[in-house]
Chains A and B, each alone.
Chain A
Amino acid sequence: MLRSAFSVPRLAILMSNIVQLVWLVPVLPLIGFLINGLFRKSLSKSLTGIIGSGVILISFIISLLIFFQVKQEGFQPALVRLFDFITVGKLSIPFEFQVDQLSSLFLLIITGVGFLIHVYSTSYMHEEERQHFARYFAYLNLFVFSMLLLVLGSNYVILFIGWEGVGLCSYLLIGFWFKNIEYGNAAKKAFIMNRIGDLGFLIAIFWMISKFGSVGFAEVFSKTSTTSVAVLTGITLLLFVGATGKSAQIPLYTWLPDAMAGPTPVSALIHAATMVTAGIYMIARSNIMYTLAPVTQTVVAVTGVATAIFAATIALKQNDIKKVLAYSTVSQLGYMFLGLGVGAYTGAVFHVMTHAFFKALLFLGAGSVIHAMGGEQDIRKMGGLKKYLPVTQITFLLGCIAIAGIPPFSGFFSKDEILAGAYEKNPVYYVLGVAGALLTAYYMFRLYATTFLGKFRGTHDQEHHLHESPSAITIPLIVLAILSVIGGFVGIPEVFAKNAHALEHFLSPIFAQSKEIQEQHATGSSPELTLMVISVIVALAGAIYGWTRFSKKPELEDATGFRKVLANKWYVDELYDTIIVKPINALGKFLNNVFEKSIIDWIVNGIGRAVQYSSRQVRLIQSGQVGGYVLLMVIGIVILFLVEIFIKQ
């Protein structure tokens, strides 16, 4: 029996229908979440790890099968309807999954990188108590589940459910060590900042419902060509507000660096596979609306390039290994938004993919370093780790090269595609983008050189404990390093080989409509090869300068002057504190002290006193004299009679 189930024809049928089984991909992590969450006190650590990672692995395998199905020529986007979610009047929102090129690619990134992070976590979190270990994996699975829901939904409401889900999970995981109040505050900050963005998203959904009468992707996009540009601009701007929150763009980026409070693999998950890519996905999904709203595109591009540069300058002077990486994520996300803003949608999605590889690698590498250093995160106290952590060192270096955009590593291809698109739109974007790339290469090699080169600067005790991490940590690092190196070859630019850009070919159905519109306004070709050479030279220069400057003499003293401004992140947190948090606190205090006491308390106490007073008076009527009662009764009856006779008529 069992054999026949796997016989060849049945397998073929299963394969051809694998798209219909797409609901398994998010459901499995949900099951993992439930098992780990409900039985966290009774499951052993190894079982927890196996369940937590296993469900993601199965999801990954299904995603892979779906991907091959989608990759075939002539694949039509498939809708898998699970049940009716909301039906109100003419509005019907089904709980429906959409499998197409974009979502299947994101499925692979999320489950693939997510699986590696799960495996890594089994070792990294091993010192936690059993129930916290299981709680951690439960949250991690829920995180992956929410993200999968986000990319699979066939309408904005399902997307929004996933969107909120990742927000919740980021809160839970950033505040995983909840006994530390600062970590709890970081978690709250992430949640609240996201909420600000979510409000924009929510309003955009309502606007869509009122304008298009639907929230399904297909229905909305089919109606965009007949909608006025002003409405589209409004909707897309509101959606973009949501994206700035989730994807950490100016002005809502400050939560991401603080999100470092969570365990390091969580940072890797937030930065690489889930959460921050949600905004990119959403805009890439809505690309046709953005293409039709040029004003929004400009806003997106300017925000993106500004964030890229701004975050890169902050990263220059950070001394916490995770903070540097966090700001580099903000900066790279800025590049992705630049790509979206200039209409290089494929480039942006491509960069999401390559960034997922090398940023997960860098974070997990940083985690390995922190693990070896016994929790130390300050790079000034590291140095010379090269000989103690050979695997971590080499993979970290590969990650740095990839993020710096040096060919033929993956970051080069994707970043270059975005920069080429930016040049076509406006050379200013390109110049700023290259400047950002210079900074990126510089600070990444500063980080690498300070951490791994030179002499060890920690305590003797730490030096004694330095050791390479176990294989559950190093294997994911190696896999991610390989992906970071070769991941770029799916998108070889046209100047090197005709039609070699496999990713663009793969994603072309998604962006076809936008491309058609863009080509009507095309300004001609750009000198792509020249641009490429310039950006590579700049990146190399930054990398070499960073390497040589910090390998011999790391920067140990506290920053002064302008550097101090950078080290303090341009005082943006302080600025927000002054202009938003403090006034709101003051208002709250005012309301608490004045409004609450003199008005609300007065009303509440007044009602109480009035009742007390009147009851004291009314109580006197109850004298116990039966005659009195009867008299009152008779008076009452007489009044009723009079009412009946004189008034009711």
Chain B
Amino acid sequence: MPINYYIFLSVALFCIGVTGVLTRRNAIIIFMCIELMLNAVNLLLVAFSKMHHQAVGAAVPTAGIDGQIFVFFIMVVAAAEVSVGLAIIVMLYRNTHSVDVNFLNRLKH
């Protein structure tokens, strides 16, 4: 399969993520959109590393393996980040009874 397909798919996923972050007001959906962007990047990384391995794997058996490993790191970090972020959202909800980000404009102060 040509690499272009992967690229188009990730770009589409990334743009959906960006649009979601920009337009949605619910904090949880924004979080999901951020995950979408991260996974778009992950997909691209996996695709590139696979292609790379196919190209030079005969000569260098470990070629492209770092891309695969890197994806796991991103997943772990994203999971950690989500757990912290969700905790913050829960605390916010307890205080304000809302997860509407437009309502949460206290950063101004």
0/1 string, A613-633, CB within 8 A of B gives 1: 000000000111111011100
Residues of A within 8 A of B104 (CB): 626
17 new A-B contacts at CB < 8 Å, known A624-B107, A627-B101? A623-B105, A624-B105, A624-B108, A624-B109, A625-B101, A625-B105, A626-B101, A626-B104, A626-B105, A627-B21, A627-B25, A629-B107, A630-B21, A630-B22, A631-B22, A634-B18, A634-B22
**B94 on the A face (CB < 8 A):** no
The reply to whether A627 and B22 contact each other, CB–CB distance below 8 Å, is yes
Q: In chain B, what residue has the closest Cβ to A623?
A: B108
Q: What's the Cα separation between A594 and B5 when bound, in Å? A: 73
Complex Cα gap A629–B102 (Å): 12
> Which residues of chain A (604-649) have a CB below 8 Å from chain B?
622-627, 629-631, 634
Q: How far is the CB of B108 from chain A (nearest CB, A)?
A: 3
CB proximity of A48 to chain B, nearest CB, Å: 67
Of chain A, the residue at the smallest CB distance from B24 is A627
| Chain B residues, Cβ within 8 Å of A629 | 107
B contact residues around A624 at 8 Å (CB): 105-109
In this complex, which of A622, A623, A627, A631 has the most chain B Cβ atoms within 10 angstroms of its Cβ?
Answer: A627
A627 and B108: CB pair below 8 A?
no
Which one, A626, A631, A634, contacts B107 given CB within 8 A? A626
State A625–B104 Cα separation when bound (angstroms).
Answer: 7
Complex: A634 Cα to B18 Cα, angstroms: 8
Residues of A within 8 A of B106 (CB): 624
In the complex, the answer to whether B102 meets A627 with C-beta atoms within 8 Å is yes
Given the complex, which residues of A lie within 8 Å of B108, measured CB to CB?
622-624
CB distance from B63 to the nearest CB of A (A): 27
Residues of chain A within 8 A (CB-CB) of B25 are 627
Give B16-42 as 1s and 0s: 1 = Cβ < 8 Å from A's Cβ atoms: 001001100100000000000000000
Chain A interface main SS type = helix
CB distance from A525 to the nearest CB of B (A): 103
Query: What are 18 of the A-B contact pairs (CB < 8 Å)?
Result: A622-B108, A623-B108, A624-B108, A625-B101, A625-B102, A625-B105, A626-B101, A626-B104, A626-B105, A626-B107, A627-B22, A627-B25, A627-B102, A629-B107, A630-B21, A630-B22, A631-B22, A634-B18
CB distance from A237 to the nearest CB of B (A): 73
Interfacial residues of chain B within 57-109, with CB under 8 A of chain A in the complex: 101-102, 104-109
Bound: A626/B22 CA distance, A: 9
Report chain B residues within 8 Å CB of A626.
101, 104-105, 107
* Least CB distance, A411 to chain B, in whole angstroms: 90
Interface size class, chain B: 10 to 19
Contact mask for chain A residues 357-381; partner B; CB cutoff 8 A; 1 contact, 0 none: 0000000000000000000000000
CA gap between A626 and B105 in the complex, in Å: 7
Chain A residues within 8 Å of B, Cβ to Cβ: 622-627, 629-631, 634
Q: With a CB–CB cut-off of 8 A, which chain B residues contact A625?
A: 101-102, 105
Task: List the A side residues contacting B105 at CB < 8 Å.
Answer: 623-626
B residues less than 8 Å from A623 (CB atoms): 105, 108
Task: Across the A-B interface, give the 9 residue pairs with the lowest CB-CB distance, nearest first.
Answer: A624-B108, A624-B105, A624-B107, A626-B101, A625-B105, A631-B22, A630-B21, A634-B18, A622-B108
A628 to chain B, nearest CB (A): 9
**How far does the alpha carbon of A398 sit from the alpha carbon of B66 in the complex, in Å?**
106
CB nearest to B19 among chain A residues: A634
Residues of B within 8 A of A627 (CB): 21-22, 25, 101-102
Q: How far is the CB of A93 from chain B (nearest CB, A)?
A: 64
Minimum C-beta distance from A509 to chain B (A): 87
Q: Bound complex: CA of A631 vs CA of B104, how far in Å? A: 16
A631 CA to B21 CA, complexed, in Å: 9
| Chain B contacts for A630, CB-based, 8 A | 21-22
A428 to B18, CA, bound (A): 103
A118 to B23, CA, bound (A): 92
Chain B proximity of A627: nearest CB distance (Å): 6
Give min CB distance, B98 to chain A, whole Å: 13
Q: Which residues of A contact B109 (CB under 8 A)?
A: 624
CB of A619, distance to nearest CB on chain B (Å): 10
When C-beta atoms are compared, the residue in chain A nearest to B22 turns out to be: A631
Q: Give the distance in Å from the alpha carbon of A373 to the alpha carbon of B43 in the complex.
A: 107
Residue on B nearest A638 in the bound complex, by CB? B18
- What is the distance, in angstroms, from A309's C-beta to the closest C-beta of chain B? 85
Q: Which residues of the partner chain A approach B107 to less than 8 Å between Cβ atoms?
A: 624, 626, 629
Complex Cα–Cα for A400 and B22 (A) = 103
Report the separation of the CA atoms of residues A506 and B22 in the bound assembly, to the nearest whole angstrom. 100
Nearest chain-A residue to B109 (Cβ)? A624
> Distance in Å from the Cβ of A162 to the closest Cβ of chain B?
67
- Rounded to whole angstroms, the CA-CA distance of A32 and B34 in the bound complex is 79
Task: Give the complex CA separation of A630 and B101 in angstroms.
Answer: 12
Q: Which residues of A lie under 8 Å from residue B102 when comparing CB positions?
A: 625, 627
A633 to chain B, nearest CB (A): 10
**When chains A and B are docked, how far (Å) is the Cα of A173 from the Cα of B108?**
65
Closest to A634 in B: B18
Shortest C-beta distance, B35 to chain A (Å), equals 15
In the assembled complex, the Cα of A630 lies from the Cα of B27 at a distance in Å of: 13
Minimum Cβ distance to chain A for residue B26 (Å)? 12
Complex-state Cα separation, A631 to B105, whole angstroms: 15
Q: A563 to B25: give the CA distance in the assembly, Å.
A: 101
Which single residue of chain B is at the shortest CB-CB distance from A626?
Answer: B101
Return B55 CB to nearest CB of chain A, in Å. 25
- Chain B nearest CB, measured from A635 CB (Å): 10
Closest Cβ of chain B: how far from A403's Cβ, in Å? 87
**Bound-complex Cα distance A629 to B108 (A):** 11
Q: How far is the CA of A629 from the CA of B21 in the complex (A)?
A: 11
Bound-state CA distance A629–B104 (Å) is 13
Q: How far is the CA of A627 from the CA of B25 in the complex (A)?
A: 8
Q: Complex Cα distance A623/B101, Å?
A: 13
CB distance from A645 to the nearest CB of B (A): 14
CA distance A224 to B22 in the complex (A): 85
Report the bound CA distance from A627 to B29 in whole Å: 13
In the complex, A629 Cα to B107 Cα: how many Å?
11
Could you tell me the distance between the alpha carbons of A630 and B106 in the complex, rounded to whole angstroms?
A: 15
With both chains docked as a complex, state the minimum distance between the C-beta of A223 and any C-beta of chain B, in angstroms.
74
> In the complex, what distance in Å separates the CA atom of A626 from the CA atom of B23?
11
Kindly state the separation between the CA atoms of A229 and B65 in the bound complex, as whole angstroms: 85
B33 shortest CB reach to chain A, Å? 10
Which A residues are CB-close (under 8 A) to B21?
627, 630
Within 8 Å CB of A631, what residues of B? 22
> Which residues from B are CB-within-8-Å of A634?
18, 22
Q: Output the least CB separation between B13 and chain A (Å).
A: 15
A631 to B23, CA, bound (A): 9
The smallest beta-carbon distance between A641 and chain B, in angstroms, is 12
Chain B, residue nearest A625 (CB): B105
| Complex Cα–Cα for A387 and B105 (A) | 101
CA distance A623 to B106 in the complex (A): 9
- Min C-beta distance of B101 to chain A, whole Å: 5
